[in-house]
Amino acid sequence: MSQNPPEPTGGAGRMGDSPAVDRRATRRALYAAGVGNLLEWYDFAVFAFLTPVIADLFFPNADPIAALLATFAVFAVGFGMRPVGAVVFGRLADKVGRRWTLLVVITMMGVATVLIGFMPTYATAGLVAPILLVVARLLQGLSVGGEFGVSASFLVEYAPSRRRGLYGSVAYLTADLGNFFGGAVVFALTGIVSAATLSQWGWRLPFLLSFPLLLVGLYMRLRIEETPRFRALAAAQQKVQSPVSEAIRRHWRQMLMLIGVGIAFAVSSYTVLAFMVSYLTSVLDYSLNTTLLAVITATLIGAVAVPFCGALSDRVGRKPVLLAASITTIVLAYPGYLILGLGTFVMAIVGQLVLWVPVSLFCGVAPAAYSEMFPTNVRVSGFGVAYAIAVALFSGTTPFVATLLIDVTGNVLSPAWYLIASGVVSLLVIMRIPETATKELSDSRPADEPEATVTARV
């Protein structure tokens, strides 16, 4: 992960060449994008890890499953805003630059998360409390909708051509570490304070911790430079007036393919990142402390595997790794849930690690594979909007759908069916996508270039 790129050999003046990259600037870019991404996903993860507590505080209900469904609906609301965030911040990133957009989205996420830490609960504010919670989730969704497309494109654009998979994987490595950090904070808190104290005021602390993290992230992102590819694009005056419209008009096929690939990715990743705590505690009756320790252990191991999967995609190509990810989603879903049901701490970890296999593969390859589908002048918009649509439809709804399946069928293994179905859909799409690992990133499409040429190139 810390390997330096080779010395630059070409200038940044000609579009289509690999622009010269300064090693120090590259390191700062990796650290700043990574730390900021970690903060974004720490904020999102804290909400997921505290779902059982938030359900009681904001949606009191005699039926715990009904309270969970209400909380997961609010969780999904944040994802509904992600396409909006992708449009707004994708346009900003493709017109103004990646650097300033990264500063805006991290500030918005930090402020929204701190606000949750100060919110009144249902007991003190009635219906106002869940309404305020929804507003904060909308702001979080708007922010994270812009964050991932920008940060992943930023990392890939800084990468040497043969390490785009490795560099891009930093986006998900740090996202998964953010989930780990969020879980670790909540786990530590539950070990320090009593359950009563956690419900009274302790639940606020993980959200308030976002403020010092925000300051660190802002400081690091203020020190980064714009990507060489975007600077070259701006110098050549090849930015487009309406990046989102341009992406949809000229690259709609790639956007549809990205959404198709993203279905299995979205369902599998939010099974382990957002659904697992409530599944183990509310459905399988694991204790909260046992659940949190098992989840953060599996998350850390799964995160560590991500850069290796990214590096693997640099060696064998994006398509073989994507195929492996979709196939393992199908094959390992049922065994993973069976192992979780064995009821021991060790099996809780092992079952999750089985489900983490496709997630780590997807996390390692997706940032580079998605970025390579689009030219620089619409990369963030095309990538970000398509990705946000996929996660809005399938990530945020995964905990809700999985819980609903259990409630309707009475079968604790029924969420595996949803995983399998998503894997089949994505596998059919991945079989049709072209390999992109061996091609240089394209910067823009010349006005007179025919559609078939562009499709073949990207």
Measure the CA–CA gap between 271 and 403, rounded to whole angstroms: 11
* Best CA proximity match to 364, nearest among 296, 292, 309, 282: 309
- Whether the pLDDT of residue 30 is over 50: the answer is yes
Question: Once rounded to an integer, what is the mean pLDDT over residues 144-157?
Answer: 88
Check: CB of residue 271 under 8 Å from CB of residue 355.
yes
- The one-letter amino acid code at 67 reads A
Return the pLDDT at 38: 87
Q: In the chain, count of helices (H) and strands (E)?
A: 21, 0
Residue 371 has pLDDT above 60, yes or no: yes
**Is position 231 within any domain?**
no
Percent of the chain predicted with pLDDT > 90 = 50
| Domain annotation covers residue 5 | no
Q: Residue 46: CB partners within 8 Å, gap ≥ 6?
A: 113, 182, 185, 186, 206, 207, 210
Cα–Cα distance between 331 and 419 in angstroms, integer? 10
Half-sphere exposure of 449 (CA within 13 A, CB side): 13
Q: Which DSSP category does 200 fall into?
A: I
pLDDT value at position 6?
Answer: 41
Q: Which two tokens stand for residue 315?
A: 């060696």
- Following CA atoms 309, 311, 312, 314 in sequence, which dihedral angle do they give, to the nearest 10 degrees? 130
In a domain, 234, yes or no: no
CA–CA gap between residue 144 and residue 414 (Å, rounded): 30
The answer to whether position 97 is within a domain reads yes
Whole-angstrom CA distances from 31 to 2, 43, 219, 264, 419 are: 10, 18, 11, 29, 33
> Which tokens go with 301?
């191991």
Q: What's the maximum distance between 2 C-alpha atoms anywhere in the chain?
A: 67
In a domain, 444, yes or no: no
Beta strands in 185-234 (DSSP E): none
Tokens of 360: 């780590």
Cα–Cα dist 238/230, whole Å: 10
- pLDDT, tens digit, for every residue of 139-149? 888 888 888 88
d(CA 182, CA 187): 9
Could you tell me which of 330, 331, 336 has the C-alpha nearest to residue 302?
336
Residue 25 has pLDDT above 80, yes or no: no
For residues 165 and 311, is the Cβ–Cβ distance under 8 A? yes
Phi-psi domain of 97 (left: phi exceeds 0; alpha: psi -120 through 50; beta: other): left
Residues in the chain: 458
- Within 10 angstroms of residue 232's Cβ, the number of other Cβ atoms is 23
State how far the Cα of 455 lies from the Cα of 453, in Å rounded to an integer.
Answer: 5
**Residues 73-120: tens digit of each pLDDT:** 776 677 778 889 999 999 999 999 999 999 999 889 888 888 999 999
Q: How many domains does the chain have?
A: 1
| Residue 445 zone, left/alpha/beta (φ > 0; ψ -120 to 50; rest) | beta
Confidence of residue 246 (pLDDT cuts 50, 70, 90): very high
pLDDT per residue as tens digits for the range 46-66: 877 787 788 788 877 656 666
Residues of the domain holding 153: 23-221+241-434+450-457
Give the pLDDT mean for 155-161: 89
Q: Kindly report, residue by residue over 299-345, the tens digit of the pLDDT.
A: 999 999 999 999 999 999 999 999 999 999 999 999 999 999 999 99
More confident residue, 12 or 160: 160
Report pLDDT for 455.
Answer: 36
pLDDT beyond 70 at 11: no
Exposure string over 404-438, b if 16+ CB within 10 A, otherwise e: bbbeeeeebbbbbbbbbbbbebbbebbeebeebbe
Question: What is the model's pTM?
Answer: 0.82
Is residue 7 in some structural domain? Answer: no
Q: What is the pLDDT of residue 360?
A: 97
pLDDT per residue as tens digits for the range 221-234: 888 888 888 888 88
pLDDT of residue 4: 42
**Torsion sign (Cα): 315, 318, 319, 324:** positive
Q: 246 near 377, Cβ under 8 Å? A: yes
Q: What is the CATH number of the domain that holds 89?
A: 1.20.1250.20
Position 255 pLDDT exceeds 70: yes
Residue 342 lies inside a defined structural domain of this protein:
yes
pLDDT of residue 445: 52
DSSP state letter for 106: H
- Please check whether residue 150 is in contact with residue 159, taking contact to mean a CB–CB distance below 8 angstroms: no
For residue 235, being part of any structural domain is answered with no
